[in-house]
């Protein structure tokens, strides 16, 4: 594989702007950027580090002021990840990493560690909907015997930016526009795409966000990633780089865009309800924990920098090693006390796990702690039950503070002391052997605000992602960009994005330009010329996991006079395949079946559209079908199921409704006269061959 072309420091400083332009030129001296106290800022793109690839420095007051101001902008709702859902469960280690780490949670095989996992959207507020196109947070709090470990990541393995100093700008750009307060929970607007066009480093992330990964079918069907490169430290103080991966046992599945939009109206709480109901009935979601492990020499040999959060390590180069599983088996008892008050901190790491010099990761330890102080209003937020260390005691000499709930005894609130504390002379002391120790990485470098030369390639992995997708997924991605840019009113914003896309893939840029009815602009000059990498099928959704109905939902639309035996047969076959089944009727009271027996309904037709199911069956009587032909909700039930590429089982009596909905026969249309089991195969996947017949894609 070709090495990344290395650039000069001068070129590196140009990596942030389209066409190599980094900063706006000030038209007057008073137009220059300053801190809140008027100090002119020399570099607003890079945090102060010990060398280009070194750790960020606490003395960087520009970084701290900018992030601190950002962290305190909203009270008490989270600034990002405000809309979340969570559950309790356990993590069980199945293979020891004792060779690489001294962290007991990763070395004691068979031990179960209590966890609390929170999933979330990023851009929307707490009152927004579950199904927008957005990154999803994937945060796991493990209550280990050596203190809490918070693995705070996303359902996408890379991020928009390379340096934490740009995070406030990113979120300001994607949030509601400052002058009008909309759009809510959406990236399809000018400020977001203006920022993205000026930050080519975001291009790889944009490929993911415009893919189907950003519109998941269920929280239970998302992969999770630690995003950053971390370090594992063993008993010999030897370090190994590590990437963390959560892989759902149900497989990864997404919605279609039209489906996601309609779900937002049909059930704004679709993901929250799905997770709660699955756990409530005992269908506990499960993920495997996998790791990618690299030595320093192996990392140095890669054609990209693993400290760059906009890059991933292809599984084909370093396969994922599965070491454990996580099962979520209990819903919160109180949403506010647990889900809302949960405070995740990247600084929560047991001995044997450590951060790397990733400049995005370097800003998070300060930012998260600062945010929790603002949001929860006290330095004692660790005493809230959901945040307390449970696998071990927490004990120190910190006292007082707002909302102190513990009553400490003794005179001493300092360390060291020689007074009797809690039955021990002098109280708790540090543990030089078993305590947390940072990896002894050399950091003697010149203080600089500079991006490492190895961070300069912004397009090769974006190209890798796009070219690794199936044709269907490529079409969805291109169509998503067309949709988003069509919401942008400023032509120069659209042109800049198109110029960047030409560095990713010429065919992608052309199809997006065609979808916008725009001429293709000149290619924006990259800071480092992209190169081709071998395709990575692991980056796809389609074909990565086997077709299955397990964990999915099937809706059976019924009417008065329907065949009860057939309804039961379809229900039994779907449940045997692992699906949940709901009966949908014109009225919530249910229907009177052929023979006079009453069948209760789980949902009323107008309020339970087909978008909430993965497959549907129509078990109707002749008179019942006739009554539905004048009901728009019934026609939409069928039309949307067909348009969203879902399998449709039907009785002969339902044919008039199929005809009115414009449904044409294909492999996903199953005559239930062939038997209920004939419906299960098509119901286990979408009918992708149908898509060109029902919608135009870029």
CA–CA gap between residue 54 and residue 455 (Å, rounded): 13
Among candidate residues 501, 499, 458, the one with its CA nearest the CA of residue 210 = 501
User: Which residues, in sequence order, are CB contacts of 31 under 8 Å at separation 6+?
Assistant: none
Q: Is 154 a catalytic residue?
A: yes
Contact 643, 258 (CB under 8 A): yes
Contact 646, 613 (CB under 8 A): yes
CA–CA gap between residue 658 and residue 609 (Å, rounded): 16
Among candidate residues 304, 306, 576, the one with its CA nearest the CA of residue 460 = 304
Rounded (10°) angle between helices 491-504 and 506-516: 160
Burial code (b: 16+ CB inside 10 Å, e: under 16) for 593-621 equals beeeeebebebebbebbbbbbbbbbbbbb
User: Which residues, in sequence order, are CB contacts of 524 under 8 Å at separation 6+?
Assistant: 18, 19, 20, 200, 496, 499, 500, 502, 503
CA–CA gap between residue 239 and residue 242 (Å, rounded): 9
Burial code (b: 16+ CB inside 10 Å, e: under 16) for 526-551 equals bbbebbebeebeebbbbeeeeeebeb
Number of Cβ within 10 Å of residue 471's Cβ equals 9
Burial code (b: 16+ CB inside 10 Å, e: under 16) for 556-570 equals bbbbbbbbbebbebb
Residue 617: strand pairing partners:
556, 649
Among candidate residues 602, 533, 580, 589, the one with its CA nearest the CA of residue 560 = 589
Which tokens belong to 155? Answer: 């359902």
Contact 611, 256 (CB under 8 A): no
CA–CA gap between residue 638 and residue 615 (Å, rounded): 11
Q: Which three-class secondary structure state does DSSP give residue 613?
A: coil
The residue annotated as part of the active site, out of 46, 88, 148, 154, is: 154
Residue 248: strand pairing partners:
287
How far, in whole angstroms, is CA 71 from its chain's centroid?
21
Which tokens belong to 314? Answer: 């292809």
Q: Is 72 a catalytic residue?
A: no
| Omega within 30 of 0 (cis) for the link into 659 | no
Burial code (b: 16+ CB inside 10 Å, e: under 16) for 377-389 equals eebbbbebebbeb
Rg of the chain in Å (alpha carbons): 27
Residue 145: strand pairing partners:
147
CA–CA gap between residue 355 and residue 525 (Å, rounded): 34
3-class DSSP string for 505-565: CHHHHHHHHHHHCCCCCCCCCCCCCCCCCCCCHHHCCCCCCCCCCCCCEEEEEECCCCCHH
Which tokens belong to 623? Answer: 């008179």
CA–CA gap between residue 671 and residue 650 (Å, rounded): 5
Q: Which three-class secondary structure state does DSSP give residue 681?
A: helix
Q: Which three-class secondary structure state does DSSP give residue 198?
A: helix
Residue 90: strand pairing partners:
114, 327
The residue annotated as part of the active site, out of 46, 81, 271, 500, is: 81
Phi, psi of 370 (to 5 degrees): -65, -40
Which tokens belong to 348? Answer: 């929560």
Just list the catalytic residues.
81, 154
């Amino acid at each position: 594989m070709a090495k990344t072309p290395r650039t000069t420091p001068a070129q590196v400083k140009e990596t942030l702007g389209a066409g190599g332009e980094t900063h706006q030129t000030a038209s007057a001296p008073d137009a220059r950027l300053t801190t809140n106290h008027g100090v002119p800022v020399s570099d607003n793109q890079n945090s102060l580090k010990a060398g280009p690839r070194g750790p960020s420095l606490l003395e960087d007051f520009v970084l701290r002021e900018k992030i601190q101001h950002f962290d305190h902008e909203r009270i008490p709702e989270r600034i990002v990840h405000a809309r979340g859902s969570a559950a309790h469960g356990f993590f069980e280690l199945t293979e020891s990493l004792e060779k690489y780490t001294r962290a007991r949670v990763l070395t004691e095989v068979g031990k179960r560690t209590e966890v609390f996992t929170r999933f979330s959207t990023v851009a929307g507020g707490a009152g927004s909907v579950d199904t927008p196109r957005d990154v999803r947070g994937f945060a796991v709090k493990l209550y280990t015997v050596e203190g809490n470990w918070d693995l705070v990541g996303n359902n996408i393995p890379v991020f928009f930016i390379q340096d934490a100093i740009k995070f406030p700008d990113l979120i300001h750009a994607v949030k509601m526009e400052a002058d009008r307060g909309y759009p809510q929970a959406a990236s399809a607007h000018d400020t977001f795409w203006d920022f993205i066009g000026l930050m080519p480093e975001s291009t790889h992330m944009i490929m993911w966000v415009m893919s189907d990964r950003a519109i998941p079918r269920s929280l239970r069907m998302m992969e999770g990633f630690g995003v950053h490169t971390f370090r594992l430290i063993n008993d010999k103080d030897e370090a190994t780089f590590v990437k963390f991966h959560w892989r759902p046992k149900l497989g990864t599945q997404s919605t279609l865009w039209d489906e996601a939009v309609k779900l937002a109206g049909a059930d704004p709480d679709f993901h929250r309800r799905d997770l709660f109901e699955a756990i409530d009935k005992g269908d506990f979601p499960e993920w495997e924990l996998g790791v990618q492990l690299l030595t320093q020499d192996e990392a140095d040999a890669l054609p990209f920098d693993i400290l760059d959060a906009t890059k991933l390590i292809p599984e084909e180069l370093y396969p994922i090693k599965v070491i454990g599983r996580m099962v979520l088996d209990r819903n919160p008892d109180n949403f506010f006390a647990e889900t809302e008050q949960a405070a995740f901190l990247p600084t929560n790491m047991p001995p044997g796990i450590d951060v790397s010099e990733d400049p995005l990761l370097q800003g998070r330890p300060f930012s998260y702690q600062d945010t929790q102080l603002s949001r929860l209003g006290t330095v004692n937020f660790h005493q809230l039950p959901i945040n307390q260390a449970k696998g071990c005691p927490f004990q120190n000499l910190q006292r007082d503070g707002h909302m102190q709930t513990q009553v400490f005894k003794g005179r001493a609130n300092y360390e060291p002391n020689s007074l009797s504390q809690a039955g021990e002379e002098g109280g708790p002391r540090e543990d030089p052997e078993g305590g947390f120790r940072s990896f002894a990485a050399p950091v003697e470098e010149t203080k600089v605000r500079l991006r490492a030369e190895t961070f300069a390639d912004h397009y090769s992995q974006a190209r890798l992602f796009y070219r690794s997708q199936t044709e269907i997924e490529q079409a969805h991605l291109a169509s998503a960009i067309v949709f988003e840019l069509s919401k942008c009113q400023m032509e120069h914003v659209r042109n800049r994005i198109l110029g960047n896309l030409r560095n990713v893939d010429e065919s992608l840029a052309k199809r997006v330009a065609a979808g916008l009815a725009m001429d293709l602009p000149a290619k924006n000059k990259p800071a480092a010329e992209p190169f081709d990498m071998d395709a990575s099928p692991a980056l796809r959704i389609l074909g990565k996991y086997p077709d299955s109905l397990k964990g999915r939902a099937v809706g059976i639309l019924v009417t008065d006079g329907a065949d009860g035996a057939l309804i039961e047969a379809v229900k039994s076959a779907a449940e045997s395949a692992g699906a949940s089944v709901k009966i949908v009727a014109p009225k919530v009271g249910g229907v009177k079946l052929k023979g006079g027996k009453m069948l209760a309904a789980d949902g009323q037709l107008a309020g339970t559209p087909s978008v909430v199911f993965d497959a549907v069956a129509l078990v109707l009587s002749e008179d019942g079908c006739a009554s539905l032909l004048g009901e728009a909700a019934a026609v939409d039930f069928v039309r949307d199921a067909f348009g969203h590429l879902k399998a449709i089982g039907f009785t002969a009596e339902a044919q008039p409704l199929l005809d009115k909905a414009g449904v044409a026969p294909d492999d996903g249309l199953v005559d239930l006269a062939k038997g209920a089991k004939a419906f299960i195969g098509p119901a286990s996947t979408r009918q992708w061959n149908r898509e060109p017949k029902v919608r135009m894609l870029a």
